[in-house]
Structure 1
Amino acid sequence: MNQYLESVDEITKELTTTLQSINKEEVALLLNEISKADKVFFVGVGRVLLSLKSVAKRLAHLGVNTYIVGQITEPAITEKDLLIVGSGSGETAFPLIIAKKAKQHNARVAHIGANPESSMREFADVFVRIPVTTKLNKPNEIPSVQPMTSLFEQSLLLLGDTLALIMIKEQQINMKNLWEFHANLE
């Protein structure tokens, strides 16, 4: 199982390099937007959406009103709300359409992606760059031995958990009390 340990080492080194390369000021701006919002909506596609669903769930555990765009109980977005868009390239059609729609309702938009020059920048009030290789193969991207955009999706999930931990520390939340927000119909 030498390949297993080698692969684990490669992946964890990539994640450490990536997470340490994210701009902490951009993260602070995103945290501020989350704290000001009445409701926080999330949109993405594919594996990015799976990561965002995990982030939404974790923030819900911390008392943030979170919604996934398209879920059956999704309420209306307003000027008091935040849409978080996950899109490495910033060019994915569905998130672009939703971001435009959110701006039409005067909501704030945060884009977490790898491409600062994307079409999404027209709609984003806040941008957090995860500087990894995308399908666009731009310069100054952290390369990956993993298939396709795995490093972006993993980093997005861990960024979400990092945001949650920062919120826990800043708000001095008792971790044991968080279990009251955990699903109990399981």
Structure 2
Amino acid sequence: MNYEQYADTVLKELQHTLQAVDAQKAEAFTTMLDEADEVFCAGAGRSGFEVKGFAMRLMHMGLKSYVVGETCTPNIAKGGLLVVCSGSGATKSLVNHASKAKEVGAKVALITIDPNSPIANMADLVIEISAPSPKSAKQTDMKSIQPMGSLFEQSEGLFMDIVVMMLMARRGMDADTMFGRHANME
């Protein structure tokens, strides 16, 4: 295959996964974000990179958002929301984070491949992204030309970007209002 064929196939895979996400759950996730006192974002590996970008966009919107594990992240409390990105929904450190969040009365939203995972069983909201991954216990009929969990990781990032746009619309914001909070010490 050449570059154009790879690009076309990857775009079709992304279209399939994003259009398969439950739109009502996307709305519910947007509401959870809008109503949370603070948003804590957690993920491992490439999912961790994706959720860090999401935390940054929430900060650009003026939300109190943090990345779990960073030195300046405060404690989570009741009224807080933990957003976990985990294809397997079973990564031990993330299971521990979700357990702690529930223990203090915070809400948990999970973006995952496996809606029957340990974190899903604790979560207030589970957003399923139907993508194949060797890390997930859930088997899917979909095949991907991409290696490992790439399709899930890309899809979760795009899903979170779409939710940011939904939240922007809800709050009457545009890119110009958000840019005022962009880093100026780069």
TM-score bin (small chain): over 0.9
- Letter of the 2:168 counterpart: I
Deviation per CA, 1:5-60: give whole Å up to 9, x if none. 11111111111111000000111111111111111001110000000001111111
Q: Separation in 1 of the partners of 2:54 and 2:177?
A: 19
Task: Show structure 2 runs of 5+ residues with no match.
Answer: none
Report what 1:16 is aligned to.
15
Question: How does the TM-score come out when normalised to structure 1?
Answer: 0.95
* Contact 2:108/2:123 (<8 A) preserved: yes
Q: Does 1:158 align with 2:158?
A: yes
For residues 94-173 of structure 1, the aligned pairs below 5 Å read 94-135=93-134, 136=136, 138-173=138-173
Q: Does 1:40 align with 2:36?
A: no
* Contact 1:18/1:142 (<8 A) preserved: no
Query: What fraction of aligned residue pairs are identical, expressed as a percent?
Result: 35
Report what 2:82 is aligned to.
83
Q: Separation in 1 of the partners of 2:51 and 2:165?
A: 16
Which shows bigger deviation, 167-176 or 37-46?
Answer: 167-176
Structure 1 residue 167: deviation in Å? Answer: 1.3
Q: Separation in 2 of the partners of 1:77 and 1:181?
A: 23
Task: Show structure 1 runs of 5+ residues with no match.
Answer: none
Structure 1 residue 181: deviation in Å? Answer: 0.6
Which shows bigger deviation, 68-77 or 116-125?
Answer: 116-125
* Equivalent residue pairs, number: 185
Question: How does the TM-score come out when normalised to structure 2?
Answer: 0.95
